[in-house]
Structure formats: structure tokens, C-alpha cells
Amino acid sequence: MTPSDAPQFSRRRLMTMTALGGAGLALPGAPAPAAAAEPPARQPGRKSVFGLKHPPMGKVRIGIIGVGGRGSSLLGNLLDIEKVEIKAVCDIVPQRVEAARDQVRKKGRPDPAGFAKNETDFENLCRRDDVDVVYIATPWEWHTPMALAAMKSGRHAAIEVPAAITLEECWQLVDTAEETQRHCLMLENCCYGEIEMLVLSMVRQGVLGELTHGEAGYLHALPDYLLSQAAPAVWRRRHLTRANGNLYPTHGLGPIAQYMGIHGGDRFERLVSMSSLEHSLSLLRDKLPADDPRRREKYVCGDINTSLIRTALGRTILVQFNITTPRPYSRINMICGTEGTFCDYPPRLHLRGKGEAWETDLAPYFQQYGHPLWKKMKETALKSGGHGGMDYVMNWRLIQCLLEGAALDMTAYDAAAWSAVFPLSVASVAQGSAPLAFPDFTRGEWKSRKPIGLVGA
Ligand SMILES: NC(=O)c1ccc[n+]([C@@H]2O[C@H](COP(=O)([O-])OP(=O)(O)OC[C@H]3O[C@@H](n4cnc5c(N)ncnc54)[C@H](O)[C@@H]3O)[C@@H](O)[C@H]2O)c1
């Protein structure tokens, strides 16, 4: 696929994003610097979605919008889960819709309906009465509009990361979930990694003591890929020409937020952000032939963005973003407490009274603290695949909650707060690394909620 037939941003979406990349002044809904802004009052007819439950479902009927790389991989996991029916698939590239339908038929399942007329055909998928949940795996700028359409049509929304790219969109997700009382879940698969769930289990059992600091990141060297003509590279690169900040925060941050009980007794309060100069991608761009249209692209996003979050309880979190520098992959995944520190890449642990060095043989810890979900389904998860099995575990868990009529592990408030790092970091960088307040998407309810427990136990 060439850039010319790759999905284009609509004019409205383009304007929102251009505003983001500017001086930061036009950032929709940006709160006053540093001071904790009062959240807008909840409008009549809306109510909290904390602990939201729906009646148990006999089966879960799914429609998927966006069946490119990620959507078709999610589809593969969903087809491995019992009591899931794929009812409809949508993409603006008709061949992808056909390939997805084929994927379903090859599993001996009924042929799903296809939607590929144009870039708003997803609205017709959302209107279908035989769909319970709409999965959304499209480029970032489509996530919120599609999730809103799904919820307003009475469907639950399961959105790829990040769920939103402006603060206005973060609020729209929260407000619409509260108004429609639909689940609005960001598909943050990294919360379901075997290691992340081990650490969550250790944290909940007090092994690390009181948590004080975490470090998260998305450090994924993709420069050659990013400069390529592959459709997903084209839309990702376009974001790098428009916004300078921490553009993919949730993979690293989601697990840290869960360890810390964000929205279960704590919340993100403020953020400062700084970007390095941009160099790596433009260096590669300048090696392209002189007449290549990519030579005219200007990348505004610095090579490395470093953002710092302070929570209401006074904890700190470092969040880094770097996709253009040659380096080994890492989400950092460090969590520090009064009794010890865990750090990933490679996984290691240091506990009080256990010598000076890191412990690198974690087998005994997996045995003692390994998460019940992973103990139960590791083999199946590895077989189904997707980022070392975490994608299967995430999807299985979502389906299980819907079948049981249980509350989901993550809420619209999590989707909003974790994604808000994107627009807040852009605004902070544009304002000389000014501290900016996170909106309190929960409107104070974070104080009385409990942190997520050991789900599935
Ligand atoms: N959680 C993870 O581990 C993970 C991994 C990869 C990608 N992602 C996320 O998944 C999403 C998709 O990424 P990808 O790599 O699959 O990109 P992709 O470009 O391969 O797939 C996106 C698909 O959306 C389709 N699309 C675009 N606009 C549309 C519209 N208006 N209606 C219907 N379809 C439309 C495109 O044609 C394409 O097939 C992104 O948000 C990305 O951040 C998450």
C-alpha cells in the first residue's frame, strides 16, 4: 500500500491535531498550569461508571473496525476464545475486510458482515443490533470518534491504544460512557503481560512495601520501518510531523498505574515534559533520493521525550517515548517501594536484606507470586500468541467479564487518564516544560475506590 491510498485524516481531525502541535494554547480542555483544576460538574442523566456491570451474556458478539496489522491479530485471539461470535468487520480497504472474513470462515465460523464503503461506514457496523462490543484498531485519530459512535449506538467500546489524543476526546469518552452506561475499555494489553501480572501480584501482597516511584516507557527502535511506505508507518509518521511529546504512553504507564492503584486511592495530579531535539528520523530522510516526497516531511517530535508525573499521594512516575533511536526494546517497567525495587528489560528484583545486587533468577517468585490468570492459562495464551500471550489473556479476561456480568478491569477513567499523557506532554513541551494539571476524570471518586485486585483469582 502506498501513502496516496493510505487512510487520510479528515479535515476536522487534522485541525485538532494541528492545534495540538502548535503553541499548546489551543489545546482543547487544557487545565490551568500546575493547579489542580476543578473537574466540570457531571451533567444530569450521567452517572459514574466505576464498577459498571451488565447482565451476564450467553455469548459475546463482536464487530471489529480496522483489520490491519493489529485488528487481524486481535481477531485471531478472539477466534480462539469460546462463546465469541464475530458478527461484522469494517475497514476502508475492502481487501482487508475480505481477508478478515476469510480468517473467520477458515475457523469454521459463520461469515461476518463486511463494511468497506467509506471512512464513515463504521457507523453502520455500530448500529447493528447483533453486536455487543465494538473493537477499534484503527489509526489513533479515529479511536474516540469510533468509540463514541459505538457507545451512542448502545454497544460497548474496546479501543486500541491510546484511546484518545486530545483532552477534549478524553472527556468525551468519560462523558459518553457515563451517559450511555456502556463499557469503555482501552485494550492495554501490557497490563496482562506475565511479568506485569507477577509484579502486580507481588505489589498487592506487600512484597515491595509502600510504593514511591515508577518508571515506564515505550522505547522501540523503529526508524527504518517508520520511514517506510507501509500504511501503518505512514500514519504514525504523520503524527511525528504534528506533535512533539510523549505520543504512545500507555503501554508502559498502564501497568505502573495499576501497581500504584491509580483511581483506587490515588490519581495522576500533574505532569512536566521535555523533548530532546529531533535528529534520527530526519537523518534517514535525508538519505532518500532528492525527488522522494518524504524529503519534504518535517518531523517535530523530538527523538526522546521524558515526562514526569506526580500523583496525589506524592509518588512520581517517569514516562519515556523513543521510537527513532537505535536501542533494545524496553517498556522499562520499574517500580520502587519501601521494601524493594523491580525493574524489567531484563527482569530483576532487589529486596531489602537480600544483598547489594539485583536478583535475576525470578523462578521462585513466579512460583510464589505468579498471577493466577497466568498460572491457569499460560499454555493456551502462548499458543494463541500476540506479544508473548498477553493479548490472549487480555481478550480472554474481557470476554470472561462480559460472560459473567462482572465489572471490567479498566474503566473509561483509566483510558482517559493514561491517554491524557499524550496531549498534556505536547502542551507542556510547547510551554517550555510547564507543569500541567491532569483533569480529575473521576470527579473525586478516586479517593473512595479500591485498587484493582488479583483478577481471576
Ligand atoms: N496494543 C498493541 O500492542 C498494539 C500493537 C500494534 C498496534 N496497536 C494499535 O492498533 C491500532 C492500529 O494499528 P495498526 O498497526 O494495526 O495499523 P494499520 O494501519 O495496520 O491498521 C489500521 C487499519 O485501520 C483502517 N482504517 C483507517 N481508517 C479507517 C476508517 N475510517 N474506517 C475503517 N477502517 C479504517 C486501515 O485501513 C487499516 O487497515 C493503532 O491504534 C495502534 O496504536 C496496538
Query: For the chain, give me the number of helices (H) and strands (E)?
Result: 16, 14
Cell of 242: 504534528
- pLDDT, one tens digit per residue, over 233-283 is 999 999 999 999 999 999 999 999 999 999 999 999 999 999 999 999 999
Question: What is the reported pLDDT for 207?
Answer: 98
Pocket test for ligand 1, best of 89, 120, 136, 160 (most atoms within 8 A of CB): 160
Whether 314 is in a domain gets the answer yes
Verify that 149 and 277 share a domain, yes or no: no
Which residues line ligand 1 at a C-beta cut-off of 6 Å? 7, 65-71, 90-93, 96, 119, 122, 137-140, 142, 160-161, 189, 231-232, 387
> Residue 206: which domain range?
191-371+412-447
Cell 510547547 sits on residue: 430
Verify that 143 and 230 share a domain, yes or no: no
Cell of 149: 459512535
* Alpha-helical regions (H) of 231-361: 231-240, 250-260, 280-285
Cα torsion angle, 142, 148, 152, 156, sign: positive
Start-to-end C-alpha separation, the chain: 45
Verify that 165 and 312 share a domain, yes or no: no
For every residue of 127-171, which 3-state class applies, written as one string?
A: CCCCCCEEEECCCHHHHHHHHHHHHHCCCEEEECCCCCCCHHHHH
- pLDDT, one tens digit per residue, over 135-153 is 999 999 999 999 999 999 9
Verify that 221 and 363 share a domain, yes or no: yes
Whether 199 is in a domain gets the answer yes
Spatial contact of 449 and 264, defined as CB atoms under 8 Å apart = yes
Cα torsion angle, 248, 249, 251, 252, sign: positive
Verify that 210 and 288 share a domain, yes or no: yes
For the chain, how many structural domains are there in total?
2
Whether 67 is in a domain gets the answer yes
Strands (E), 184-333: 184-186, 211-219, 268-275, 305-311, 316-322
Reported pTM: 0.93
Verify that 88 and 125 share a domain, yes or no: yes
Verify that 327 and 442 share a domain, yes or no: yes
Verify that 222 and 350 share a domain, yes or no: yes
Band of pLDDT at residue 457, cut at 50, 70 and 90: low
Residue 253 alpha carbon to ligand 1 centre in Å: 21
Whether 455 is in a domain gets the answer no
Q: Alpha-carbon dihedral of residues 6, 7, 10, 14, nearest 10 degrees? A: -70
Q: Write the CATH number for 171.
A: 3.40.50.720
